[in-house]
Amino acid sequence: MIWGLALVSLAAFLLAFASHSPGWMGLGIFIGFMCGIGAALVFIERHVRASSRPEHMTEREVEALRNTMRKPGEPPRQLPPTQSD
């Protein structure tokens, strides 16, 4: 799909460059920009997806993260008791 968008964009710009009619030139420029922007967004989306980490953490990762937050030997923190008036 991405290479198809890039090829259609290139063909549309070639049509705009080669045409003598203002209508075909405008249509070629419009289609060229729309397909070019679409191809660029797909390239960006693929790059972000390839370099991102998984969304969910495993139980081991969560436990390791909790252990780094607490100092060894420190009891877990508790909320202070509420005072009723």
On whether residue 72 sits in a domain, the answer given is no
Q: Which residues of 29-49 are buried (b: 16+ CB within 10 A; e: fewer)?
A: eebbeebbebbeeeeeeeeee
28 or 51, greater pLDDT: 28
On whether residue 6 sits in a domain, the answer given is yes
On whether residue 60 sits in a domain, the answer given is no
pTM above 0.85, yes or no: no
* pLDDT tens, residue by residue, 57-83: 788 888 888 877 766 666 667 777 888
Q: What's the total number of domains in the chain?
A: 1
On whether residue 45 sits in a domain, the answer given is yes
On whether residue 41 sits in a domain, the answer given is yes
What value does the mean pLDDT take over residues 12-35? 94
Q: Which domain holds residue 10?
A: 2-50
* pLDDT tens, residue by residue, 35-56: 999 999 999 999 998 888 777 8
What value does the mean pLDDT take over residues 3-24? 93
On whether residue 46 sits in a domain, the answer given is yes
On whether residue 13 sits in a domain, the answer given is yes
